[in-house]
């Protein structure tokens, strides 16, 4: 503990009094709402992404001692807070919440605000805090500086005052320094390449055999997976020549010397006992003079897994940001933020009403990231029976339960290894499974249902919800600690009514696409009709607008808005429907097409331009008895 000079506590307390802080104060004078906090997180995305793995590592050291880890920006605003459920509850009861400003001018002497003021690591314990609600805590805070030496944030460990210990401050200071070094390394790319420890950490975090070698075949560096996949001990491996392992060595060297790469070729490599077919990539390594003397090999035995993933889930992200429609300035800022954080391994939480395009955003993030060539696996937590979600996510071993397949079954996490797992409607995940998901995020390993082996996985999780997860946490339906793990990089997708200038763009896009698919003429929407459509609330958002355009094309008329209802203006006499909702209009149209086609489902679906399953869902939605 910082015992040699505690004068800073007295000086800080005096400043707190000058700021007008009351000792009985229960909350910071400044707390951001969700939207303001989301904007601040966007601005501080680099700090969050860099700090997150160090925060997780620090938490692993102290979680058994009931500490919480807090990340602030340079103004003391809490960006992220992680801890177990019990400690988070205590923290939230004492003003420690995301969006709260911990600067001395807002809540008096404390480990975060005072560390930022002093510009050095320090510890504040018990009654050294100015406000009484913090007297139960010991707080160890350390400022974080960027490559220019400017304050960019603060890292803090907070726990019960009885846990006060000088080692705690040492750990926080070390972690803050490591974050600073990583920020500097990110800025100075040459230092990244020369840092052997950093490279080894990265290499070992990837579930592939990765090793470097010069053109003579001397192996320089190998990650732990190389030894396990190829079957050699470290001593054997470093005595070997890479040409003994990799076929067509001469051709590979020739390709790399031309500053070209070998990308994901299926080849055979020699193991200790036999040969195996693997997926091989080889890249040149450039030194600071941009000369090539070595190369890096990446070997993955994922061929069967990838084929299975593609067969079962169609696990390929299709959408990209350049296909995202929109001119609304706020929406474009959201797109820009999503692009910036696309390469981060941190979890992303997409929030928005139904029909706002959350899966499109998830796929676009995947295709904008360095995982774009890897699997994109989606699971809708609300569309699968609760007793089956566990097996879907984690897979199962043979004999795990009655009906289990011979040989077991791979789960979504293993399918997505190296890529992205999109968990839609995360708020519907059973409470007991949330604990397992939290462990996967923290430790990067999964265990199949009925199995005992721990399987390391490298998966980036993107979660989505149309619920207010914070309210679900307060109701006890969702784990608080999981929520704050998922909420590291939150993205709010605005409803269509908040981006009205984009409505004409969507109408033009859907009109063109659906008229070609239905082989029908586009319907021209007059300016006065377009104004009415832009004033409509669109509770179903983009999905409702898409259905509306399809209805327009099929009925050859334009439904006009009257308040929140529609009436049809059309040249066809058989569509004289007035003052009904869009849902009622859709139901009427489906009934008419069914009747005209003698209730033949296939013909009706074809005329409506939808699939049979979609038609059945609409029949169920409108309580129409299916033939």
335-390 pLDDT, tens digit per residue, is 999 999 999 989 999 999 988 999 999 999 999 999 988 889 999 988 888 788 88
Burial degree of 351 (CB within 10 A; 0-12, 13-18, 19+): buried
Which region among 386-390, 487-491, 609-613 has the lowest average model confidence (pLDDT)? 609-613
For the segment 191-223, what is each residue's pLDDT rounded down to a tens digit? 555 566 766 777 787 778 899 999 999 998 888
- Provide CB contacts within 8 A for 51, sequence distance 6+: 71, 144, 153, 155, 179
- For residue 3, what pLDDT is reported? 44
**Residue 574 confidence class, pLDDT cut points 50, 70, 90:** very low
- For residue 361, what pLDDT is reported? 94
- For residue 480, what pLDDT is reported? 93
Q: Kind and range of the H or E element at 212? A: strand 209-214
Q: Is the pLDDT of residue 248 over 80?
A: yes
Task: Report the C-alpha gap between 625 and 627 in whole angstroms.
Answer: 6
Average pLDDT, rounded, for the chain = 85
For the segment 123-147, what is each residue's pLDDT rounded down to a tens digit? 999 999 999 999 999 999 999 999 8
Looking at residues 44-59, what average pLDDT do you find? 93
- For residue 500, what pLDDT is reported? 92
Looking at residues 443-457, what average pLDDT do you find? 87
Q: Which residue has the higher pLDDT, 365 or 454?
A: 365
- For residue 406, what pLDDT is reported? 65
- Cα–Cα distances (Å) from 362 to 18, 43, 46, in that order, read 48, 20, 20
Q: Which residue has the higher pLDDT, 306 or 374?
A: 374
**Residue 66 confidence class, pLDDT cut points 50, 70, 90:** confident
- For residue 559, what pLDDT is reported? 57
Q: Is the pLDDT of residue 16 over 80?
A: yes
Q: Which residue has the higher pLDDT, 529 or 119?
A: 119
Query: For the chain, what percent of residues have pLDDT higher than 70?
Result: 90
**Residue 622 confidence class, pLDDT cut points 50, 70, 90:** confident
Q: Is the pLDDT of residue 94 over 80?
A: yes
- For residue 564, what pLDDT is reported? 45
Task: Report the C-alpha gap between 477 and 578 in whole angstroms.
Answer: 43
- For residue 592, what pLDDT is reported? 81
For the segment 267-292, what is each residue's pLDDT rounded down to a tens digit? 778 877 667 767 788 999 988 788 89
Which region among 125-134, 288-297, 302-311, 555-564 has the lowest average model confidence (pLDDT)? 302-311
Q: Which residue has the higher pLDDT, 564 or 94?
A: 94
What is the tally of helices (H) and strands (E) in the chain? 26, 19
Q: Is the pLDDT of residue 190 over 80?
A: no
**Residue 617 confidence class, pLDDT cut points 50, 70, 90:** confident
Q: Which residue has the higher pLDDT, 92 or 230?
A: 92
Looking at residues 32-55, what average pLDDT do you find? 93
- For residue 331, what pLDDT is reported? 93
Q: Is the pLDDT of residue 82 over 80?
A: yes
- For residue 12, what pLDDT is reported? 96
Residue 123's CB is within 10 A of a number of other CB atoms, namely: 25
Q: Is 168 left (phi over 0), alpha (psi -120 to 50) or beta?
A: alpha
Which region among 117-121, 163-167, 210-214, 325-329 has the lowest average model confidence (pLDDT)? 163-167
Beta strands in 466-592 (DSSP E): 489-492, 557-562, 565-570
Segments in 426-502 forming alpha helices (H): 431-443, 469-474, 480-486
**Residue 6 confidence class, pLDDT cut points 50, 70, 90:** confident
Q: Is the pLDDT of residue 585 over 80?
A: no
- For residue 520, what pLDDT is reported? 83
- For residue 191, what pLDDT is reported? 56
Which region among 381-390, 411-420, 429-438 has the lowest average model confidence (pLDDT)? 381-390
Name the nearest CA neighbour of 338 among 314, 315, 313, 319.
Answer: 319
Query: For the chain, what percent of residues have pLDDT higher than 90?
Result: 47
- Provide CB contacts within 8 A for 126, sequence distance 6+: 135, 136, 137, 138, 161, 164
Q: Is the pLDDT of residue 547 over 60?
A: yes
- Provide CB contacts within 8 A for 599, sequence distance 6+: 627
């Amino acid at each position: 503990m910082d015992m040699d000079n505690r004068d800073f506590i007295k000086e800080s307390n005096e400043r707190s009094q000058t700021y007008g802080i009351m000792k009985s104060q229960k909350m910071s004078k400044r707390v951001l709402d969700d939207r303001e906090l989301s904007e601040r997180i966007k601005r501080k995305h680099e700090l969050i992404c860099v700090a997150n793995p160090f925060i997780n590592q620090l938490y692993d050291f102290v979680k058994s001692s009931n500490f919480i880890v807090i990340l602030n920006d340079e103004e003391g605003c809490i960006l992220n807070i992680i801890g177990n459920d019990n400690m988070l509850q205590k923290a939230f009861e004492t003003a420690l919440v995301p969006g709260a400003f911990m600067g001395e001018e807002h809540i008096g002497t404390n480990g975060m605000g005072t560390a930022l003021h002093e510009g050095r690591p320090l510890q504040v314990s018990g009654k050294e805090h100015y406000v009484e609600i913090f007297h139960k805590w010991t707080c160890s805070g350390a400022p974080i500086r960027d490559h220019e030496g400017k304050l960019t944030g603060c890292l803090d460990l907070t726990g019960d005052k009885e846990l006060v210990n000088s080692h705690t401050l040492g750990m926080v200071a070390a972690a803050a320094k490591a974050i600073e070094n990583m920020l500097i390394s990110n800025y100075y790319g040459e230092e990244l390449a020369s840092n052997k420890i950093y490279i080894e950490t990265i290499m070992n975090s990837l579930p592939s055999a990765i090793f470097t070698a010069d053109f003579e075949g001397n192996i320089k560096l190998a990650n732990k997976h190389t030894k396990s996949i190829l079957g050699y001990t470290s001593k054997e491996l470093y005595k070997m020549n890479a040409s003994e392992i990799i076929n067509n060595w001469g051709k590979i060297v020739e390709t790399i010397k031309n500053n070209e790469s070998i990308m994901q070729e299926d080849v055979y490599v020699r193991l200790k006992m036999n040969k195996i077919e693997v997926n091989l990539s080889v890249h040149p390594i450039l030194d600071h003079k941009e000369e090539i003397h070595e190369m890096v090999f990446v070997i993955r035995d994922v061929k069967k897994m990838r084929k299975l993933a593609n067969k079962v889930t169609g696990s390929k992200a299709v959408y990209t940001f350049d296909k995202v429609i929109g001119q609304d300035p706020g929406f474009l800022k959201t797109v820009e933020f999503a692009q910036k954080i696309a390469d981060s391994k941190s979890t992303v939480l997409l929030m928005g009403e139904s029909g706002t395009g959350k899966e499109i955003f998830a796929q676009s993030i995947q295709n904008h990231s360095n995982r774009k060539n890897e699997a994109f696996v989606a699971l809708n937590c609300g569309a699968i029976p609760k007793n089956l979600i566990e097996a879907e996510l984690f897979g199962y071993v043979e004999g795990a339960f009655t009906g289990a397949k011979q040989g077991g079954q791979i789960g979504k996490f293993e399918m997505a290894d190296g890529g992205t797992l999109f968990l839609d409607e995360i708020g519907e995940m059973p409470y007991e499974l949330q604990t397992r998901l939290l462990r996967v995020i923290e430790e990067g390993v999964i265990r199949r249902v009925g199995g005992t082996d721990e399987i390391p996985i490298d998966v980036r999780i993107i979660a989505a919800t149309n619920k207010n997860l914070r309210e679900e946490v307060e109701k006890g339906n969702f784990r608080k600690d999981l929520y704050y793990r998922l909420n590291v990089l939150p993205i709010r997708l605005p409803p269509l009514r908040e981006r009205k200038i984009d409505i004409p763009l969507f109408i033009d896009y859907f009109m063109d696409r659906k008229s070609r698919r239905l082989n029908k003429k586009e319907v021209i929407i007059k300016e006065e009709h377009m104004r009415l459509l832009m004033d409509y609330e669109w509770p179903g958002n983009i999905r409702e607008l898409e259905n509306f355009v399809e209805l327009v094309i099929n009925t050859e008329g334009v439904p006009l808005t009257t308040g929140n209802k529609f009436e049809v203006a059309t040249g066809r006499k058989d569509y004289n429907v007035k003052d009904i909702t869009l849902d009622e209009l859709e139901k009427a149209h489906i009934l008419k097409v069914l009747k005209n086609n003698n209730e033949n489902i296939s013909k009706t679906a074809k005329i409506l331009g939808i699939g049979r399953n979609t038609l059945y869902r609409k029949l169920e939605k409108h309580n129409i008895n299916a033939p």
